[in-house]
Amino acid sequence: MKFQPNLCIAVSILLFFSACLNDVKEAASSVSQTSKTIKNAEKTIDHRASTVETLSKLEPLTKSQWEHWSPETLPGGFNRTHMASNLMIQAGIASFGATYRSKENSKVVKITIMDGAGPKASGSIGAFYNTLISEFDTKHNWGYQRSVTENGIKAKETHFTGNNKYELTTFYGDRFCLTVETEQMEREEAWQMFEAMELEKLVAIAN
């Protein structure tokens, strides 16, 4: 076959422009993704600012409201053995805590809630709000921390392998900074206890 230099040049030029076109497409895709990320970040900042402003104008829950909501028992034979509410009320922050134990006292459930309502509390929701917008996935020699979504609830899930302890942390109902801790229980059980709290009733009381 006779060597055709013009054909080789044409093919080389075609390959060059094809590679350039791919680079342009990749660059355009990268710019588009960056633009989406910036827009999402702006929406998040706006929503957080709006949430803080709204909460700052609300009245925090009273002690009687906390106690009206708090379940005395949880499924599986757990009884409430301790309850405390509004320990930080003098600082302008309404809070609640309760401990539940199984009949054999081998399993423990603890719940801690801070009401984000009020000018002081609303400025303290940052770390909990971040659980809704951040992604965690880290492993340690003691366990792990990761972002999870269970039944529509996004939370930071922490597991300590030593005593099989789980911590589920989230910002619930755009108001409540919540942590549920379980000891000597499996992950599925921990989430069952979270759901058994019926937090939607707490939101209804607050509204």
**Amino acid making up residue 38:** I
pLDDT range class, residue 88, cuts 50, 70, 90 = confident
CA distance 52 to 201: 22
Structure tokens at 152: 């529509």
Of residues 187 and 88, more confidence is placed in: 187
pLDDT range class, residue 35, cuts 50, 70, 90 = very low
Count of residues in the chain: 207
Does position 31 have pLDDT exceeding 70, yes or no? no
Structure tokens at 3: 């060597």
Global confidence as pTM: 0.76
pLDDT score of 44: 59
CA distance 154 to 172: 9
Round to the nearest angstrom and report the end-to-end CA distance of the chain.
Answer: 85
Q: Phi and psi dihedrals of 167, rounded to 5?
A: -125, 125
Q: Which helix (H) or strand (E) holds 94?
A: none
Return mean pLDDT, the chain.
82
CA distance 91 to 120: 8
pLDDT digits (tens, 9 = 90+) for 50-69: 888 999 999 999 999 999 99
pLDDT score of 82: 94
- 75-84, 90-99, 103-112: lowest mean pLDDT where? 90-99
CA distance 78 to 116: 28
Burial 180-198 (b: 16+ CB within 10 A, else e): bbbbebeeebbbebbebbe
CA distance 158 to 147: 9
**Amino acid making up residue 111:** I
Q: Crossing angle of helices 5-56/126-133, nearest 10°?
A: 150
pLDDT score of 20: 56
pLDDT digits (tens, 9 = 90+) for 108-167: 999 999 999 998 888 888 778 887 788 889 999 999 999 999 999 999 999 999 989 999
Residue 165, Ramachandran bin (φ over 0: left; ψ between -120 and 50: alpha; else beta): beta
Burial of 20 (C-beta count, 10 Å sphere; 0-12/13-18/19+): exposed
pLDDT score of 120: 86
Does position 38 have pLDDT exceeding 50, yes or no? no
Percentage of the chain modeled with pLDDT above 70: 77
pLDDT range class, residue 105, cuts 50, 70, 90 = confident
